[in-house]
Amino acid sequence: KIVSEPRNASVKRKAGKFVVIKEKTGYTLNMNETFANFKKAVEAGKHQFELDVVKKKAKYTSKDMAEIKDVLGTYTTEYGGSPYGRKVNVANGASKINGSIVYPGETLSVYKTVSPFTKENGYALAGSYENGQTVQTYGGGICQVSTTLYNAVIRAELKIVERFPHSMTVHYVPRSADAAIAGTHKDMKFKNTFDTPIYIEGKANGSTITFTVYGKKKDPKRTVEFLSETTQVKEKLLKVQLAIITLAEGQKVLESYGHTGYSARLWKIVKINGKQVSKKVFNTSTYMSTPTVYRVGTKKAEDKKTIKG
């Protein structure tokens, strides 16, 4: 009961205000000294002896958490027109990231924070990209969560450790401003390179999803903007028709829409007191072009025979 690890102070956001949760001191027990004290007590016929305990203070205290009060970056995307399952996934993903505290030097992985993508973890079936096609998977739409957070994080000027574009373009952000999640090989990770903790608030109301990064702003005069530029357009591929023997001859069903391919880059613009002081390429992205795919029936109609009795 005595031996315990220290616990850093933290915060919760309630009714638009931060509530600081006090740190907790940890304790270690010096076994050699404690046993020596026990031995002396026994030899002296005493029934009590002192434990040799060392305090371990928390690294971050309530004072540090009180520094979290400025909006460092925020971003909103829309998903109101999404199917029911996708809406469930966006809201579920936002709730899992909401309230995250990233201490100085720590890295947050979106995949680790929101996974596993299962029904038991609150996810529903919805469309997602896989090998150039849209398929139904648990957690479909989670990329909008990572993308919205990505845009809030880069506006907060935190360090991006890992980010990948989608295989094809998405509709909810400009090109090169997206951040895909796919298994463990595509993740969005960022590191808190500041000397104070940050707090992430995530909200999804069925129509929009918003992430806001709170912390201590170093320079109130400094602002950043991001500008998407398309550098190349790749036309859609020719239509593809798949022969389906179980579909009636002449019947044609849309399998998936084609996508135009693009190359793009994202510019970071820094301003001081509203005046531009720098403009640099922040990232580059490539999106594949895909054909529109139809399923075409080849099943012959059966001959109708009249049976005479």
Q: Where does the pLDDT of residue 255 fall: very low under 50, low under 70, confident under 90, or very high at 90 and above?
A: confident
Residue 132 pLDDT > 60: no
Residue at token pair 């952000």: 173
Mean pLDDT of 255-271: 92
Residue 247 pLDDT > 90: no
**Is the Cβ–Cβ distance between 65 and 197 less than 8 Å?**
yes
Residue 292 pLDDT > 90: no
Residue 308 pLDDT > 60: no
Q: Where does the pLDDT of residue 299 fall: very low under 50, low under 70, confident under 90, or very high at 90 and above?
A: confident
Q: How far is CA 69 from the centre of its chain?
A: 22
pLDDT (0 to 100) of residue 126: 83
Mean pLDDT of all residues in the chain?
A: 91
Radius of gyration of the chain (CA): 28
DSSP label of 47: S
Nearest residue to 3 (alpha-carbon basis) of 31, 25, 29, 23: 29
Percent of the chain with pLDDT over 90: 76
pLDDT (0 to 100) of residue 248: 84
Give me the phi and psi of 10, to 5 degrees please.
-145, 180
**Is the Cβ–Cβ distance between 229 and 100 less than 8 Å?**
no
Mean pLDDT of 233-252: 79
pLDDT (0 to 100) of residue 278: 98
pLDDT (0 to 100) of residue 236: 73
Q: Where does the pLDDT of residue 303 fall: very low under 50, low under 70, confident under 90, or very high at 90 and above?
A: low
pLDDT (0 to 100) of residue 134: 62
What are the beta bridge partners of residue 254?
294
pLDDT digit string, tens, across residues 35-60: 999 999 999 999 999 999 999 999 99
Give me the phi and psi of 87, to 5 degrees please.
-60, -40
